[in-house]
Chains A and B, each alone.
Chain A
Amino acid sequence: MTAPVLAVEGLTVSFRGRAGPVRAVTDVDLTVRAGETVGLVGGSGAGKSTVARAVAGLVRPERGAIRVDGVDLAGLGRSATRRLRRQLHLVFQDPYAALPPTRRVADVVAEPLAIHRIGDRAERQRRVADALAAVRLDASRYLSSFPHQLSGGERQRVAFARALVTRPRLILADEPAQMLDASLRVAFIDLISELARDRGVAVVHITHDLALTERPCDRLVVMQAGHVVEQGPTAELLDRPRHPYTAALVAAASGAPIPRGAQ
């Protein structure tokens, strides 16, 4: 087996609360290999987004190691961290908020290249076109559009093209389909995992809805109240959930009718 792209060990994150620090994440281990899509699932407040934000460097961990391609993020200087950032990208939940409203699609997708000063004009244009093609958006139609002219699904694809353009090793997708119409969700998640497989990108797919994990995810990691309560291959875990919390998530996502008169 290849070395994991992402290896999180003993990650613990606390936030300052009114009555002292509040643990959001406790001793979480997580590994993702190239080409693999791992579903990080749990209800709200389970700590799954905090894990992603810690990996992306938006929150500082209290304890634990985060290694990307074997390099520990904690021990790095400023410029090395910035270089490593090129290797990972976080796709946010809300495609309406995550794109700068005043930039055209061409500039939005090229932005990571500008930040890291990658390539000349021609090279950047080629990479942008390639990234848009990967998310099945017709470059000639979309390059000069503004985000507000696009539908939610199109915007989220643009956000995903922006994530692909530096050819990262790891993509963290935090509820990427939550704001899309229900009928577009499955197709969007499938697209992500398909690209991960084709391009050898490691993907962490964060969601509360197990119905969105069955096809795209190779493995599932279930979190509850900051702890990992269960993990395993997707099919196995959905068929035989061992932890009652996992079983409750499976039941909720299976869409059983809610009987009248029941509480």
Chain B
Amino acid sequence: MNVRSRRYALAGAATLATLGVIAVLAPWLAPYDPGERVGPPFARPTPTHPLGTNDVGQDLLSELIVGTQVSLLVGTVAAVAATVLGTLVGVLAGYARGWVDTVLMRAVDVVLALPVLPLTIVIGVFFGPGLLTQISVIASVIWAGVARELRAQVLSLREREHVQALRVMGAGGVYVLSRHVLPAVAPLVVPQFVLATKTAILLEASLAFLGLGDVTAKSWGTMLSIGYARSAFLTDAWLWWIIPPGLAVALTVMAFAVFGYALEERSRPALRDASRPWPRPRQSPRPDRAAPAAPALLVEDLAVHYRSDRGAVTALDGVSLSVAAGELVGLIGESGSGKSTLAAAALGLLPPAATVTEGRILVTGRDLATLSAPELRSTRGGRVGLIPQEAMSALNPVRTVGSQLAEAVRAHRTLDQEQTRARVEELLALVGLDPDWAKAHPHQLSGGMRQRVVIALALAGDPAVVVADEPTSGLDVLTQAEVLAVLVRLSRELNLALLVVSHDLPMIERIADRIAVLHAGRLVETGPAADLLAAPRHPHTRSLVEAAPRLRVRVPGGPR
């Protein structure tokens, strides 16, 4: 949560706390009994009656204070009922699926489709005025939203492997729901409840204003209703009769809304930090001195730190690495070694929490730190391309392969339709795919073909440098071999500087000219692939070489 939304949330919480205290202590705070005639009717504000009196001479300030109690009570009780019902329906529909889901969700659809206010009026008139009517009417129209929200959460939770694992262990539905599903959705129920209360209070005011409130227990809405009916607008009585309860409703609804959205934001980390600005990389102290024969990708003495709760964490420290045109360098590192940070840095795509504290990255001789944001954008894709690790999530599932490639092509060059199509076909041919696949959607392709499309996307801007982050993860060994062959061929045919980042030494050793070994943020060894494998110098490299899963070399069909 950023500072501003936290400040809003605090203000909302403080307002709600104050209102809560007023509601609870209302009988003692109110100077008069709001049911008693304590002055002349239609009195203007005086020191004894700061908001004047109503048409029968009851104290309006006392009515306002006691009205807080009624409004909050109706709102809260209705919201509790709606949240409980909505949670039950949502969780049940999401977990049971099948016909239960169909029946429940059609009911939800019906409720959501009906216009709320006319519906509440019809039901309210049918059952007659009163607090209970108000509560049940309000609850019956707002539970559906809660149900739909929670069902979506439960549906996705249900397919998570740790919930499936429980079913494999033989856990029944009651066990899974009570021990795992409900606790997991509970943090979402709280904001849903707060937001439901907001809606309930607003609806209560509307219903009461239309005369469906209880005249013996006046809420703010009832005050408004009576004030309006007793011609408060004909004199300036509206100033003290209509404005205060109106403001009270507005303030309460706003406080609930602000507090509720803040809670919702906190329970869904994905909504957080979306607005955080992209920090500019620190300017390199050294001047840009690009030599003409510089390698396509040059990382010099790079250090990257991450901000974290426990202070700065070093991800990379003094890393120097170069990849020449036409060269295929494999960067080997285990999880946590900093290899993904290095890949991101080479693309100028470090996450916001990371800072380059030392060193520089030159792509075709240009220092990434000295580039402006638009220059950096055109460098990405245009000079350096990325082959990301999850092909399926890197592609847009609802658009054809061709349109995604065309978009990538046009991002860097202005081409007409015909030229774009020719370039898309050229790209598909480069990765060994028939041009007809341009019309296909990603889900119609096999894993290996999707990975080829992702490679074609990386090549769309004709980059000199390509970084491949675990390009074969999630592919089976046969498909891996195909994709690796494509990468090797491209690095030669297009004279690409190709940096392949992986934890998989047996994969890297099949394709790399040189191998660099990253361990705990430092480059421990770099060398030609064959030398490094035959005679690893660093103990970490040695343990990687020894632990790598390999079949003993076999002669097909021969004896052991």
Q: Interface residues, chain A, CB within 8 Å of chain B?
A: 42-45, 56-58, 81-83, 85-86, 89-90, 92, 94, 97-102, 111-112, 115-116, 151-152, 159, 162, 166, 181-187, 208-212, 214, 235, 238-241, 247-263
Q: List 19 A-B contacts (CB under 8 A).
A: A82-B170, A83-B170, A85-B169, A92-B161, A208-B477, A211-B550, A211-B551, A212-B549, A247-B556, A248-B478, A250-B551, A250-B554, A251-B556, A252-B478, A257-B511, A258-B510, A260-B488, A262-B485, A263-B432
Inter-chain CA distance A262–B164, complex, in Å, is 43
Contacts of B505 in A (CB 8 A): 182-183
Evaluate whether A57 and B510 lie within 8 angstroms (CB atoms) in the complex, with A43-B478, A100-B162, A212-B549 already known.
no
Flag if B335 contacts A152 (CB, 8 Å). Answer: yes
Inter-chain CA distance A240–B559, complex, in Å, is 8
Shortest distance between the CB of B538 and any CB in chain A (Å): 14
Flag if A182 contacts B504 (CB, 8 Å). Answer: yes
Q: 7 new A-B pairs (CB below 8 Å) besides A89-B168, A98-B161, A260-B489?
A: A43-B479, A92-B164, A101-B162, A182-B544, A211-B550, A257-B510, A260-B492
Task: For B166, give its contact among A115, A235, A239, A249 (CB under 8 Å).
Answer: A115
Evaluate whether A112 and B169 lie within 8 angstroms (CB atoms) in the complex, with A252-B477, A255-B509 already known.
yes
Q: Does B351 contact A (CB under 8 A)?
A: no
Inter-chain CA distance A252–B284, complex, in Å, is 45
Shortest distance between the CB of A101 and any CB in chain B (Å): 8
Flag if B170 contacts A210 (CB, 8 Å). Answer: no
Task: For A263, give its contact among B164, B183, B485 (CB under 8 Å).
Answer: B485
Q: Does B12 contact A (CB under 8 A)?
A: no
Evaluate whether A238 and B168 lie within 8 angstroms (CB atoms) in the complex, with A44-B479, A258-B510 already known.
no
Contacts of A98 in B (CB 8 A): 161-162, 165
Flag if B549 contacts A185 (CB, 8 Å). Answer: yes
Evaluate whether A235 and B560 lie within 8 angstroms (CB atoms) in the complex, with A115-B175, A258-B510 already known.
yes
Evaluate whether A187 and B547 lie within 8 angstroms (CB atoms) in the complex, with A240-B557, A255-B506 already known.
yes
Evaluate whether A115 and B550 lie within 8 angstroms (CB atoms) in the complex, with A183-B543, A208-B477, A256-B510 already known.
no
Contacts of A249 in B (CB 8 A): 477-478
Evaluate whether A258 and B484 lie within 8 angstroms (CB atoms) in the complex, with A100-B162, A235-B560 already known.
yes
Flag if A209 contacts B477 (CB, 8 Å). Answer: yes
Q: Does B371 contact A (CB under 8 A)?
A: no
Evaluate whether A210 and B554 lie within 8 angstroms (CB atoms) in the complex, with A98-B165, A115-B171, A258-B511 already known.
no
Evaluate whether A183 and B161 lie within 8 angstroms (CB atoms) in the complex, with A214-B552, A239-B560 already known.
no
Inter-chain CA distance A39–B45, complex, in Å, is 88
Inter-chain CA distance A263–B175, complex, in Å, is 53
Flag if A255 contacts B551 (CB, 8 Å). Answer: yes
Inter-chain CA distance A92–B168, complex, in Å, is 11
Q: Does B15 contact A (CB under 8 A)?
A: no
Inter-chain CA distance A100–B161, complex, in Å, is 9
Contacts of A257 in B (CB 8 A): 509-511
Interface size of B as a range: 35 or more
What 8 A-B pairs are tightest by C-beta distance, nearest first? Answer: A85-B170, A208-B476, A183-B547, A252-B477, A211-B549, A97-B161, A43-B476, A182-B504
Shortest distance between the CB of A56 and any CB in chain B (Å): 5
Task: For A102, give its contact among B171, B175, B183 (CB under 8 Å).
Answer: B183
Inter-chain CA distance A209–B488, complex, in Å, is 21
Contacts of B165 in A (CB 8 A): 90, 92, 98, 159, 162
Contacts of A90 in B (CB 8 A): 165, 168
Q: Does B184 contact A (CB under 8 A)?
A: yes
Inter-chain CA distance A181–B336, complex, in Å, is 10
Inter-chain CA distance A201–B503, complex, in Å, is 31
Contacts of B432 in A (CB 8 A): 263
Q: Interface residues, chain B, CB within 8 Å of chain A?
A: 160-172, 175, 180, 183-184, 334-336, 432, 446-447, 475-481, 484-486, 488-489, 492, 503-507, 509-511, 543-544, 547-554, 556-560
Inter-chain CA distance A85–B170, complex, in Å, is 5
Shortest distance between the CB of A131 and any CB in chain B (Å): 14
Q: Name B167's closest neighbour in chain A (CB-CB).
A: A58
Inter-chain CA distance A240–B560, complex, in Å, is 10
Contacts of A92 in B (CB 8 A): 161, 164-165
Contacts of A251 in B (CB 8 A): 556
Flag if B168 contacts A57 (CB, 8 Å). Answer: yes
Among B503, B547, B549, the one with the most A-chain Cβ atoms within 10 Å of its Cβ is B549
Evaluate whether A238 and B551 lie within 8 angstroms (CB atoms) in the complex, with A82-B170, A115-B171 already known.
yes
Inter-chain CA distance A112–B558, complex, in Å, is 48
Contacts of A83 in B (CB 8 A): 170
Task: For B489, give its contact among A56, A97, A254, A262 (CB under 8 Å).
Answer: A262
Inter-chain CA distance A235–B552, complex, in Å, is 11
Contacts of B553 in A (CB 8 A): 254
Shortest distance between the CB of B125 and any CB in chain A (Å): 47
Shortest distance between the CB of A244 and any CB in chain B (Å): 11
Q: Name A184's closest neighbour in chain B (CB-CB).
A: B547
Q: Name B544's closest neighbour in chain A (CB-CB).
A: A183
Q: Name A91's closest neighbour in chain B (CB-CB).
A: B165
Flag if B175 contacts A99 (CB, 8 Å). Answer: no
Task: For B481, give its contact among A97, A116, A182, A258 (CB under 8 Å).
Answer: A258
Q: Name B336's closest neighbour in chain A (CB-CB).
A: A151
Q: Name B484's closest neighbour in chain A (CB-CB).
A: A258
Inter-chain CA distance A49–B543, complex, in Å, is 32
Among B170, B447, B476, B506, the one with the most A-chain Cβ atoms within 10 Å of its Cβ is B170
Contacts of A162 in B (CB 8 A): 165
Shortest distance between the CB of A230 and any CB in chain B (Å): 14
Among A111, A152, A238, A262, the one with the most B-chain Cβ atoms within 10 Å of its Cβ is A111
Shortest distance between the CB of B316 and any CB in chain A (Å): 18
Q: Name A247's closest neighbour in chain B (CB-CB).
A: B556
Evaluate whether A255 and B169 lie within 8 angstroms (CB atoms) in the complex, with A182-B505, A248-B478 already known.
no
Shortest distance between the CB of B90 and any CB in chain A (Å): 20
Inter-chain CA distance A85–B486, complex, in Å, is 45
Task: For B506, give its contact among A97, A115, A182 (CB under 8 Å).
Answer: A182
Shortest distance between the CB of B291 and any CB in chain A (Å): 27
Flag if A254 contacts B335 (CB, 8 Å). Answer: no
Inter-chain CA distance A238–B559, complex, in Å, is 11
Flag if B485 contacts A254 (CB, 8 Å). Answer: no
Q: Name B176's closest neighbour in chain A (CB-CB).
A: A115
Shortest distance between the CB of B251 and any CB in chain A (Å): 36
Shortest distance between the CB of A39 and any CB in chain B (Å): 13
Inter-chain CA distance A92–B180, complex, in Å, is 18
Task: For A115, give its contact among B170, B446, B479, B543 (CB under 8 Å).
Answer: B170
Flag if B170 contacts A86 (CB, 8 Å). Answer: yes
Among A43, A248, A262, A263, the one with the most B-chain Cβ atoms within 10 Å of its Cβ is A43
Flag if B547 contacts A186 (CB, 8 Å). Answer: yes
Contacts of B168 in A (CB 8 A): 56-58, 85, 89-90
Inter-chain CA distance A186–B549, complex, in Å, is 6
Q: Name A242's closest neighbour in chain B (CB-CB).
A: B557
Contacts of B559 in A (CB 8 A): 239
Contacts of A116 in B (CB 8 A): 169-170
Inter-chain CA distance A257–B544, complex, in Å, is 18
Contacts of A151 in B (CB 8 A): 335-336
Inter-chain CA distance A83–B183, complex, in Å, is 26
Flag if B334 contacts A238 (CB, 8 Å). Answer: no
Flag if A252 contacts B550 (CB, 8 Å). Answer: no
Q: Name B547's closest neighbour in chain A (CB-CB).
A: A183
Flag if B510 contacts A183 (CB, 8 Å). Answer: no
Inter-chain CA distance A212–B547, complex, in Å, is 11
